[in-house]
Structure 1
Amino acid sequence: MEKNLNWAVLGTGVIANEMAQALKAMGKTLYAVGNRTHEKAVTFAEKYQVAKVYDDFHEMFTDPDVDVIYITTPHNTHIGFVREALKNKKHVLCEKSITLNSLELEEALALAKENDVIFAEAMTIWHMPLYKKLWELIDAGKTGTYASNANEEHEEIADWLADGVPALGKVQMIQLNFGSYKEYNMKNRFFNMDLAGGALLDIGVYALSIARSFMESKPDQVLSQVKFAPTGADEQAGILLMNKEAQMATLALSLHSKQPKRAVISCENGYIEIMEYPRADQAVIVEAESGVHHTVNAGEAKKALQYEMEDMEQAIKTGDVHKLKISDTKDVMDIMTDLRKKWNMKYPGERWE
């Protein structure tokens, strides 16, 4: 009989609440919760019928009944908690940004390998069914055909093509916007350097993940402009990427200027437009020559965390980690680290090398 994995969550904020609700939708119950403020953990446990609350949240890392930990705390705290969890042979799904920089990520990945556990980023882009189908469609477009013996997993793509959705050809250019209007309060987490604030790690990680997922290789040319908040955090940035295949991406990010969360993936034979892209379940595909629009759907936005945890559980049970896109996570972190080095934007106590 297949073992039911016991999940624990570190933190009790918005993501932790969504995670508990997602587990319930999966027919499961969250096993344990830990938080710096014990009273918050108790209240959270009562709300979601969580079996175990730790007096000291560090006990989560050594609890023999915990199989996998979802870390939802601010990203400046990730590496310390990740390190402790992995050393105690716990699988870890960690909120974005998975670490502060590439050095921390390399350490964590090495610890995961050493302890034979899985460490992955809770990046919605990697797990939403829409993106999995769009990546398949792009792959189909490279040859202009789709395998006639498509199995059930690929049936939806075959249906899209049968309905007239074009094989799009090579991705040429990607445009990404993500702008939030955050109160200009230098003490909040968005602008606070002590809490690893800034647009890049908070919202840019989504845009870069989209870009990387539709590019054939990691960008090796990166240009940028940045505007800093009074605290020294990156408030606004424009980023231009290009890889060895000459695929390009442009990103516009802001924490103090509202923009649509809009992605446009331009290919040889048409383009894909995606709104609200962090948890998208719908895209519009436009044919280049005719201008005909095709609306395609896959998955449900409200199930974003459920998809993450389902992929994580599958990876733990089978050892197949390809859906976790760990390599792409590493590429995105390398880009963000290199950008901040160029900007000379280092968080207090952070080590780059």
Structure 2
Amino acid sequence: MNELKWAVLGTGVIANEMAQALHNMGRTLYGVCNRTYDKAVSFAEKYHVEKVYTSYNEMYEDSSVDVIYITTPHNTHYEFIRQSLLHGKHVLAEKSITLNSSELNKLKALADEKGLVLAEAMTIWHMPLYKKLWQIVESGQIGRPQMITMNFGSFKDYDMTNRFFNISLAGGAMLDIGVYALSIVRSFMCESPDQILSQMKPAPTGCDEQASILLMNPSGQMATVALSMHSKQPKRAMISCEKAYIEIMEYPRADHAVIVDAETGKQTIIEAGRTSNALQYELEDMETAILTGNTAIMKLRESSDVMDIMTKLRSDWGLFYPEEIHS
């Protein structure tokens, strides 16, 4: 396999994890671009990055770059992804990949037109644990998933200038943490939900602070999701199947789960991968998709289903962001 050259857009926490993940793979990040040039220089020195770009266009136009990882806040993603694709770059973008379905559909069409891989950096699609759990479920040994119960709650201070509560920065629980919960739901359902009900409590800025969501798909599989940005909850997933239930704690980067037999109560611990390697699994799958053409492993179709759910929910709530594109 050829070695792909990566550039990263942004120098925050995820960008640092990404550079370290490449290092763990025996590789070095090729390029870095950031709104603040000095931060990009410091980042490059820390990770021995070859190229520091003085502008976004310089990065887009560098013919040596194969794939760009976009780690900036999600309200910036659409234009960064669009320009990357227009310049012939494969794109891996942090969650949520866009602000709504219209934006994602436009970018998917552009990626198809250019013959490029576009994907969301959703850890759940790539953690070895989930790949193992999906195999167990698909084998039929614990029966069909019937009910999925999801919790995710963080306590964020009421700092309304912070992106978590700033509607101008696409703040709120849905796109920040809800995308994880809904990705789990979609991954264990045989088809996407078509019945969706919800309640939402807004923050003082108008973005979604708290929500409870009920979902059901045409096959009768159901889910409940509870999200909060100003009250702590465990990151807990429970997938109730006909013969057992699966419990997963700290599910965004989980490396173990417990399967509890419905009749005997016997617990079986399932372990796979390592939480600390979450970004590495994403990068490895992205490279496989690019080099082999097996794009299904990036699960963009499932990311699109999740985006459709989130777009409908926000529409039901009358919650729209100033920057989002609808048509």
Normalising by structure 1, what TM-score?
A: 0.92
User: Which residue of structure 2 lines up, in the alignment, with residue 318 of structure 1?
Assistant: 292
The letter for the 1-side match of 2:44 is A
Cα displacement (A) at 1:62: 1.1
Cα displacement (A) at 1:352: 2.4
Write out per-residue CA displacement over residues 224-260 of structure 1, whole angstroms, 9 at most, x where no aligned residue: 0000001110000000000011100000000000000
Cα displacement (A) at 1:349: 3.3
How many percent identity over aligned positions? 65
Counterparts of 1:120 and 1:183, CA distance in 2:
32
User: 8 Å contact 2:75–2:323 — kept in the other structure?
Assistant: no
1:112 aligns with 2:111: yes
Where do residues 6-21 of structure 1 align in structure 2 (5 Å cutoff)?
A: 6-21=5-20
The letter for the 2-side match of 1:48 is Y
User: Which residue of structure 2 lines up, in the alignment, with residue 34 of structure 1?
Assistant: 33
User: Which residue of structure 2 lines up, in the alignment, with residue 158 of structure 1?
Assistant: none
User: Which residue of structure 1 lines up, in the alignment, with residue 136 of structure 2?
Assistant: 137
Where do residues 6-155 of structure 1 align in structure 2 (5 Å cutoff)?
A: 6-141=5-140
The letter for the 1-side match of 2:74 is H
Which of 279, 287, 290 is the matching residue for 2:264? 290
Cα displacement (A) at 1:130: 0.3
Cα displacement (A) at 1:3: 2.0
User: Which residue of structure 1 lines up, in the alignment, with residue 220 of structure 2?
Assistant: 246
Counterparts of 2:57 and 2:34, CA distance in 1:
9
Give the unaligned 5+ runs of structure 1. Answer: 142-166
Counterparts of 1:129 and 1:339, CA distance in 2:
30
Counterparts of 1:183 and 1:13, CA distance in 2:
20
1:232 aligns with 2:231: no
Give the unaligned 5+ runs of structure 2. Answer: none
Paired residue total: 327
Counterparts of 1:77 and 1:351, CA distance in 2:
12
1:303 aligns with 2:311: no
Counterparts of 2:325 and 2:69, CA distance in 1:
24
Write out per-residue CA displacement over residues 267-309 of structure 1, whole angstroms, 9 at most, x where no aligned residue: 0001000000000000000000000111110000000000000
Counterparts of 1:346 and 1:87, CA distance in 2:
27
Cα displacement (A) at 1:83: 0.3
Write out per-residue CA displacement over residues 77-115 of structure 1, whole angstroms, 9 at most, x where no aligned residue: 000000000001100000000000000000100110111
User: Which residue of structure 2 lines up, in the alignment, with residue 187 of structure 1?
Assistant: 161
Write out per-residue CA displacement over residues 160-209 of structure 1, whole angstroms, 9 at most, x where no aligned residue: xxxxxxx1101000000000000111110000011100000000000000
SS in 1 for 2:315: helix
SS in 1 for 2:152: strand
| Higher Cα Rg, which structure | 1
Cα displacement (A) at 1:322: 1.4
CA RMSD of aligned residues (A): 0.6
Where do residues 136-215 of structure 1 align in structure 2 (5 Å cutoff)?
A: 136-141=135-140, 167-215=141-189
Cα displacement (A) at 1:221: 0.1
Structure 1 stretches of 4+ moved >4 Å: none
Cα displacement (A) at 1:59: 1.1
The letter for the 2-side match of 1:261 is K
Counterparts of 2:296 and 2:101, CA distance in 1:
20
Normalising by structure 2, what TM-score?
A: 0.99
